[in-house]
Structure formats: C-alpha cells, structure tokens
A and B are shown apart, each in its own frame.
Chain A
C-alpha cells in the first residue's frame, strides 16, 4: 500500500466551478501535511499547509481528518490558471522525510 494515495484524475471543470480533491495516507503517526502545486514540466511549489483546524487561503480551503486519515483541498471559483497537478504531501516518519502522492491533475476550461 502506498504511503499517500490520490485520485490521478484528470478533473476537467469549467471556469467558476468548485472542485475538491481528497488524499488518503496510511501512517496514523503522520505529523505534517501539505498541498503542493506543480505545473507541467515545472518544479513543485507549496500551495498551503494543512492544519488540524483546517485553513483557508483565498479560494483554497484545506482540511485534515485524522480519524479517517485523509486530507482535502477545495478550490472555489476555479480559474484557468488553476490548471495544474496538485500533490498531497505527508510526513509519516520525520519532518525531513516528505512522502508525496502521485498527484491529481486539474484542467479548468473556458
């Protein structure tokens, strides 16, 4: 079983839509959680950290459910520029050992 699992998609949505991604992790001792964004043939960039209380950054909302061992990312009012692959990241062993999901691809269409 992979440490971190994501639906690879692709998710194809129209501009203005709301879209949600989930990610499950296998190690209940995981401490830190993140969402990264990766554009095609580019490096990953941190989108947001995920806290136990949940957090929001503009149109993006991240939630953590420790009981069910998943994290989620909600994007409201999708923009064309949101088209990218979204990577779920967990640290199951120590904070330097980040485990990445394979990513969920999002395409936002006009």
Chain B
C-alpha cells in the first residue's frame, strides 16, 4: 500500500470554527488531491496540487483552501465550517494519470 496518512481520522466540530485536515505521503509523488465523499454523489474533487505551492481548484472548491509547502504534505482548511461540509474527506496521490492512491479518509462532523 502507498504511504499515505491522514490526520485526524475523525473530527467533530462546531459551525463557524476553522478546521485543518492534513495529508502526508512518503512516496514523493508529484500530485496530491483532496476529495469529499457524500451519499449519492460519489467522490468530488475539492482541490489538487501539481507541485510545491502549485494548486488548482476542483469541482467543489467553495469554502475550502489548500496549501502545500512541502512535497509530502497537503493541507485542507475549512475557514469557517458549515454543516454542509460534514463529509468523509479523502486525500490521494499520484505520479501519473493512471493511478491515484487514496488515504484512509477523515470523517468530519460539523454540528
């Protein structure tokens, strides 16, 4: 299995609070991604990174920001969490378009 970890794995927070999720890889892959998964929608891309400090928006980027200051770390920040951001968040990495390797996921509940 690819070396990807996500932290925290579970989080409960309140509406309006900031939240940061961390994705860490040991594979030195160039590309990193953040997805959210909700029933009936499948996985949806939030943001992705194609290198240190190089990021781009995905399909559902509103309300989220990202940062990548090192190859191995990709942070997802919810500046002011809302209940609609309750979801399971997956990080993924890839070196080519052929395969994305996913982390174990973070379950976020916003009350």
Contacts and interface: CB of A to CB of B under 8 A. Distances in A.
Interface of A: 4, 32, 42-46, 49, 87, 91, 95-103
Contacts of A98: 43, 45, 100
Interface in B56-105: 56, 58-59, 90, 97-105
B102 A100 contact: no
Contact-size category for B = 20 to 34
A96 B49 CA distance: 9
Interface of B: 31, 33, 35, 39-45, 48, 50, 56, 58-59, 90, 97-105
22 contacts: A42-B104, A43-B102, A43-B104, A45-B102, A46-B99, A46-B100, A49-B98, A87-B42, A87-B43, A91-B97, A96-B31, A96-B48, A96-B56, A97-B48, A97-B58, A98-B45, A98-B100, A99-B45, A100-B35, A100-B44, A102-B40, A103-B42
